[in-house]
Structure formats: structure tokens, C-alpha cells
Chains A and B, each alone.
Chain A
Amino acid sequence: MSDLLTRPSDVAADDEGRDPVVAPARTFIPDATGVEIGERRRIRQSTIDDKFNLLGSLLAGGAIASLLFGWFTPMTGAIGWGVVAFLAFIGLYALLVSLRADRQQVRDRVMTTLLYSAGITLFAVLVFIAVYTLARGSEALPHLNFFTQTMELAGPLDPLSMGGIIHAIVGTLIQISIALAITVPLGVTTAVFLNEVGGPFARFVRTIADAMTALPSIVAGLFVYAAIITLITHQRSGFAASLAITVMMLPIVIRASDVVLRLVAGNLREASYALGASRVRTIWHVVLPTAKSGLVTAVILGTARGIGETSPVLLTSGVTAVMNTNPFEGPMISLPLQVFDFVRSPEPNMIARGFGTAAVLIVLVLALFFVARIIGGRGPGVLTDRQRRAAAAASVRDTQRMAHQMADREIEQRASSPVYTFVPEMADDTEDAATHERAHAPRTFVNPNFPAATPAAAPQNPELDSEPNPEQNPEQKESSL
């Protein structure tokens, strides 16, 4: 291969003495001998100079801020110290860099530092929010009763060894289950409709769903409060809260599923149609299994949002301290609302309980998120090793089945006509397999009662392996929704 890429005129002139002009023009790699190659430049590494500049100005910035805050000015507060230190750091860093570099470079360095600072600030604050909640919640979390009791018998002044949030956990689970039971079928079907049926009405539905993602959550709660609680049920209930969560989650799930389904490659659908499959079969056996991981991710992320919603639940579910497992009757509290309710009290124990509940909520959301990442880490159509093995096994089964059918047909044909006429039509590159099969055919003929015992060797086509026939793969069929 490499000799093809060297200068063709040289080859032609050296070996055969042909006129170099007639050699066909082609791409070649220029001869590198004699060209001086310098040391490889490392574009991502910083010099000692850079490190000194950065560390030195960081230390100096901190020192200046400490001086200002400790001795020279009456400034106080950790945040103020941070701001002053940062400003001093940037100024000093620019100064240090400018000793050695031109203006362009100074600007580049300073901007890079600013971008890093923005990223570090953001991640530090967000990690801090989570850690702060977990740390303050650690007061209540070690008590086992926190997860097994309700607040029915525990007052605000009772110690943390009394009372718990099991009623809120159960309430959250019931509410989110009802919301999912409505959202998932409706949302995914709508997304399938948007993608597979299409038309002007689908565009209208998409516009409306997009518009509803702008609906503030409190307005969704207000709608359910005014339309269902004040007009129909006249009491707050878990079901009303589920409806409010549904109104919030439905557009999110539709939009995310829509995006996922749009990513399913068109040639998969076309292949299915070309095989004569109807639309329903194409959707059920090709589109949905292909997009499965993405759809699950969409639903789980929607669930994470739905679990964390406080404001629609605040208006609709009502606050209670007792366990209520009937979503249609009486108030049913959920985790976020329980947090909100706990921290309204000035008692330190109640606030500790509030942080503990918030920590449970965070852990729940994080767990959901990581499950979603694990399931949905791959793009549509990309299989795990296990799925790939299952697909390959299904493919082998298919080819065996087809070979049996062929063999059976051959038997019938031989029975009807004494001359051997049937030759399986194969492309040239599967010649081996075809001859192989012919070699096996007489054995099948000899033993016609047990065709299954002698499977004809199947042509191993790698294309087939990656696209299993879902009908032959019951696990995949089962789990496609």
C-alpha cells in the first residue's frame, strides 16, 4: 500500500525506464529524507515560567486580600475576601505574563484563566450546594427511624430519634408512579406520532408541546388547584398532585423522546419497509428497539425533574404528617414539599429533618440520573456486548431456520422431479457456503424425519449479525417498550 503512495514518477523511471510524464497523476507522500525534523512541539504543556506566574500570582492575590481584610480596611466576610483575592490574582497574573510576552499572549493567558475561573466557580458552588445539604442532613440521616416512621407522633420539639419521613417517601413514589403511568404511554405515543405519522397536525402538536415547556410549574399547580380541586374533588389529594406533575412532565418527555426518535437512522426504517414490513411492525421492531436506551433516558430525566418539583405539589397535594396510601382521598405529602414544610419551622430539629429529607431527595435524583446515564450512554442503535451477542445468536438461529426451509423445499422438489434442479441462489462471494450447503444436502435427504438435527451450515454474513430479526428474539421483543 505504501509504495502506491510514493512518488509514482520515481518508480516508473527507476524500474522500467519509462517516461515519467506518462505515469498517472496520483497523491503521494513527499520524500522525507534529508528534511530536518525539530523536536515535537507539545501544545498542551506549560513551561516552568507559566507555572510560576500562576502560582505566584495566586499566592500574592491571597496575601493581598488577607492584608486588606485583616489590617488595612474594615472589610469582612469570606465572599468579599474571595472577590478581592481573585481580582488581585488576575491583575498580578497579567502583570507577570506581560514581563515576558506580547499583548496578544497576555490577553490569551488572562482570558484562559478567566474561563477556568468561571468553570471552577460554577462547579465548586454546585458541588458545595450538594455537599452542604448532605452535611447538614447528616444530623438526621443516621437515625434509622427517619426512614421507618412518620411524623404523626413527633412534634417540632421532639428529638431526632422520633419521627421520620416514610410517609413522604411513599407519597413521592405513589405520585410519581401515577404521573409516569399517564406520561410515558401518552408522551412516547405522541412522540412516535410526531416522527412516524407526521403531517400538519403533527407539526401543530409539536408547537403546542414546545409552548408548554414554557409553562411555569406554579401555574400548572394553580391550574390543577382551580380546575380540579376547587371545582370537582373539593379536597387536596395525591392524585391531584400527580396530575400537576403530569402537566409539567408531559412536554419534557415528548420533547426528549421526539429528539431521540429523530436520531434513529432513516436507512434502518427504509430497510424495514423494503423488506415489506408495515409501519406498525417497523415502529415496533425497528424504531422503538433502536431508540430504547434514549427513550428510557428521556423518561428517567423527566422523572428526576418531576420528583424534584415542589411548587405544583405545594398547591395540590396538601400537607400531612400521617401515612396516606390512597391517592384519591386526603392529603398526601411528597419529599420536596416535606422539605419545604420542615424548614418553615424555626426549631433546629425540624430544620435538621428538612436537610435530611433534602439529602434523601438529592440522593434519589442522583441515583435516577446515573441509572439514566448507564442506560442511555450509547447512541441509538449502538448495542452493548451482551446485546450484540444476543443479536448474533438470533442471527444464527435465523440463518439455520432459513437453511431448513431451503432444505425442505429441496426435498419437495426432488420428490416431485427426479433431476436435481434446486441450487440456492447465492452471490459469488458466498460461494464457499453454497458449496458447503450442497455438500450437506444429501444428508438431509437421507434423514428427512429429523431435519432439525442436521442444520445446514449457515453463510455467516456479518451484515446480518448486526441487524437481528426481532421476531426471532423474544427478549428484545418483550423489552422493546
Chain B
Amino acid sequence: MKRDDDFVTIEEVLLADARTDVLVAGTPSKASGRRSLATALSGPDQALRIVGYSAGATTVGIMLLVGLFLAVRAGDALRVAGPSFLVEQAWSPETQKFGMAAILFGTFSIALVAMVISVPLALGTALLISEIVPPKVRQFLVTMVDLMAAVPSVVFGLWGAFFLQAAIIPVSQWISTYLAFIPIFRVDDASGTTLTEPAAFTGSAFIAGIVVAFMVVPTQTSVMREAFSQAPPGEREGAFALGSTRWGMIKAVVLPFGRGGMIGGTMLGLGRALGETIAVYMIISPVFTINWEVLKTGTNSVSALIALRYGESSEFGLSALMAAGLVLFLITLVINFTASSIVARSRSGAETS
């Protein structure tokens, strides 16, 4: 009380100035200083901060080291190749003639075949799990899908190389015979003669794409299923109450609500498909020209190229492979970030932290 006459504390000035009088109702002069809300960390907490920051910094350090090392080493090759790096088809760093056109085309053709097969399968399975099967079976199927995502890629490669290759060639032949009017399904040699013997169909982007499709389906399914299961029950029941069939409800409620999950899941699968190495490497016969005919022997992919050429490479050849790897990394990075932002945005705000 006495102090009030002598001097005014900072707090009192602040309180007197405050627009709202909620804090100290009516009697600002009686406030005798407020507790500071800033906390002084105790010793162990300080240690925790230091340990935490150093762990985070180590992680970031490793990650940035990979990125920077790739970028720096790739720089040597990129400076030599210049802009032709994106349009050149051949890969011969020894003669300074190398580019990504053919291998990027091959990578994307395999990934697109994979998407054409995997997206309907993943969409159907995700809808089946989230909408149709009874809850008891649902949990089992979810576990199965997660389990399949953990199967090593070399196993898929074995299956593709030793079983699928032989089994799928009649289908390839049939498609190329009856759908040859569509250019990408045509199989012919350089002079335009149509090829029909089985040897012309082995190691194609089509076969590699099928194998990659089954590798990425589990990833896509689980992302899509999660999005579908978050469709609001009120809207579902509303659709049923209006007399909708189950498919009508799915079309009117579940698919629109799950659109973000569908796009995001597809893109996450695409990112994995682009980076897949060993299964593709075991199946394809590598070529360094752009091959529009997906059923025909010969395609390529960035990761298979790296696996094929790393051993025999000189210092400069390695740097060219680094450049290819960097381009692949940047592509998958963009795809993954876009996908995860789409998935995150499609969720309702209540569920994200």
C-alpha cells in the first residue's frame, strides 16, 4: 500500500494501459507485480534441449550431406553436358555424350504402366476394405495390406522374372495383334515390320510396370483407405436415408471426401514406382533410345541405369550417374511433397495436430 505512493511498477503501468480489464478487475493499483511466465529450465531440461537439438542437427546434417554431396558431384557432369543433358538419349560419359531423355522416358513409361494397373486395384481394394467388408474382416485385411508393403522388392523381381514374364507374353502378343492401331501397342522393328515372336516381348516396360504396380499397390491402398474411412458418417447416413444404393452413397459421399487421399495415394505410389530399382533391373533389357512401344523389348530406368553402370564408371562417369540420381531424387521429392500436402489438406482440421 505504501509503495503505491512512492513509485509505480512497470506491471502497474501495463495493467493501467490494458484495454481489457479482465486481468485485474477495476483495481489496477493494487496489483503488486505479476509472475513472469518465462520458465528457467532446470539442468536436466537444459541437457534435454541440447541433446534434442544435436540429434535434430545430426539428422539434418546427414540428410543435407547426402543432398549437397549429390548436387556438388553431379555439378561436374552437368557443367560438361549442359542443357543437352535433358535431351540427349545416349549414355556414354566417356565420350562426353550422355543425357537423360531415354532413361527418363523409360522410367516414366514403366511408372505410368504401373499406375494404370495399380490405381484401379488400389481404389477398388480401399473401397472394399473401408465400405463393404464386415468390420471383423476389415482389420485382417488392413493387416494384410500393411504386410504386403513390407515384402522385399527382390522377391517381386524374382516373381516377375521367373513367372510373370512367361505368363504375360501371350497377353502382350494378343494386345499387339488386335490393338496395333493404337501406336503405343504396336510392336515392330526399325523397318516397320510387325514382330510376333515371343522374344520381341521380353523385358518390356509393360512387364516391368506390372511388377512395379503390385509393389506400390499396398502403399496406395493404405493411404486411400484411410482417407475413405474418414468420410463423415452423417453424410453417409444422409445418402442412405435419401434412398441411395451403397454404390450411390460411395459415389456421392465417400469418393468426393476421399479425393485428396486418392490423389495423394496415387502420387506416393508414383514416387515409389519411379525409384524402384532391383525388380526393374531384374526384368528389363536396357536400351538407350526412346521406345514408345511399351510392349516391345527394351526400356530403361534411372535406378536400373545406376545399378548397371556404377561399377565400371570412372570418376566422371560416377558424377554423371550422380546427376541422373539427383534428377530422379528431385522428381520424387516434388511428387512426394505434393502428395503429402494434398493428403494433409484433405483431412479435416480436427484430426491434424
A residues bordering B, Cβ < 8 Å? 44, 75-80, 83, 104-105, 107-108, 111-112, 114-119, 121-123, 125-126, 129-130, 132-133, 136, 186-187, 189-190, 192-194, 196-197, 201-202, 204-205, 208-223, 225-227, 230, 247, 250-251, 254, 262, 278-281, 283, 301, 304-305, 307-311, 314-315, 336, 339-340, 343, 351, 354-355, 358, 361-362, 365-366, 368-369, 373
Contact = CB atoms under 8 A, between A and B. Distances in A.
Contact of B58 (A186, A219, A354): A186
B142 to A, nearest CB: 11
Contact of B307 (A218, A251, A305, A343): A218
A26 to B, nearest CB: 25
Interface string B17-48: 00000000000000000000000011011011
Contacts of A343: 158, 161-162, 282
Nearest to B310: A315
B321 interface: yes
Contacts of B70: 219, 222-223
Given A80-B171, A219-B306, A219-B328, A108 B277 contact: no
A280 B44 contact: yes
A223 B66 contact: yes
B207 to A, nearest CB: 12
Interface in B130-144: 131-132, 134, 141, 143-144
B329 A219 contact: yes
Contact of A308 (B53, B143, B151): B151
The 4 lowest CB-CB distance pairs between A and B, nearest first, are: A118-B124, A308-B152, A77-B170, A216-B275
A284 to B, nearest CB: 9
B202 interface: no
Interface stretch (B3-11, B82-90, B95-103, B243-251): B243-251
B128 A116 contact: yes
Contact of A311 (B56, B73, B307, B353): B307
A218 B66 CA distance: 12
A215 B148 CA distance: 21
B298 interface: no
Nearest to B246: A108
Interface string B51-62: 111011011101
Nearest to B214: A125
Nearest to A251: B63
B153 interface: yes
Contact of B171 (A79, A219, A222): A79
Given A186-B58, A308-B151, A358-B154, A373 B143 contact: yes
Contacts of A307: 152
B278 interface: yes
Nearest to B152: A308
A119 B128 contact: yes
B158 A133 contact: yes
A136 B66 CA distance: 39
Interface of B: 41-42, 44-45, 47-49, 51-53, 55-56, 58-60, 62-66, 69-70, 73, 120-125, 127-129, 131-132, 134, 141, 143-144, 146-148, 150-159, 161-163, 167-171, 174, 214, 217-218, 221, 245-248, 250, 271, 274-275, 277-278, 281-282, 302-303, 306-307, 310, 315, 318, 321-322, 325-326, 328-329, 332-333, 335-337, 340, 353
A122 B220 CA distance: 12
A280 B159 contact: no
Nearest to A254: B59
A133 B154 CA distance: 11
B66 A130 contact: no
A341 to B, nearest CB: 10
Nearest to B271: A214
A121 B210 CA distance: 13
Contacts of B170: 75-77, 79-80
Contact of A121 (B121, B162, B168, B315): B121
Given A311-B277, A340-B282, A343-B158, A197 B132 contact: no
B272 to A, nearest CB: 9
Nearest to A344: B282
A129 B154 CA distance: 11
Given A219-B70, A314-B307, A361-B154, A123 B144 contact: yes
A310 B52 contact: no
Interface of A is mostly: helix
A18 to B, nearest CB: 39
A136 B148 contact: no
A315 B158 contact: no
A111 to B, nearest CB: 4
Best-surrounded residue of B151, B152, B307, B335 (most CB of chain A within 10 A): B152
B52 A315 contact: no
Given A213-B336, A216-B277, A129 B159 contact: yes
B59 A186 contact: yes
A121 B306 CA distance: 33
26 contacts: A79-B167, A107-B245, A114-B124, A119-B128, A121-B121, A126-B144, A126-B151, A190-B52, A193-B56, A205-B60, A209-B59, A209-B63, A211-B336, A217-B277, A219-B328, A223-B66, A223-B69, A226-B318, A230-B318, A250-B59, A310-B278, A336-B278, A339-B158, A354-B158, A368-B150, A369-B146
Contacts of A125: 214
Contacts of A340: 154, 157, 278, 282
B303 to A, nearest CB: 4
A308 B44 contact: no
Contacts of A279: 41, 44-45, 48
A189 B57 CA distance: 11
Contacts of A308: 150-155
B221 to A, nearest CB: 7
B49 to A, nearest CB: 6
Contacts of B148: 126
Contacts of B353: 262
A283 B48 contact: yes
Contacts of A123: 125, 141, 144
Contacts of A108: 245-248
Given A250-B59, A309-B152, 4 more contacts: A111-B247, A117-B124, A190-B55, A281-B44
B303 A311 contact: yes
Nearest to A283: B48
B70 to A, nearest CB: 6
Given A111-B247, A210-B340, A216-B328, A194 B56 contact: yes
Contact of B48 (A129, A222, A280): A280
Contacts of B275: 214-219
B128 A118 contact: yes
B160 to A, nearest CB: 9
B154 to A, nearest CB: 5
A222 B321 contact: yes
A336 B152 contact: yes
A112 to B, nearest CB: 6
A310 B152 contact: yes
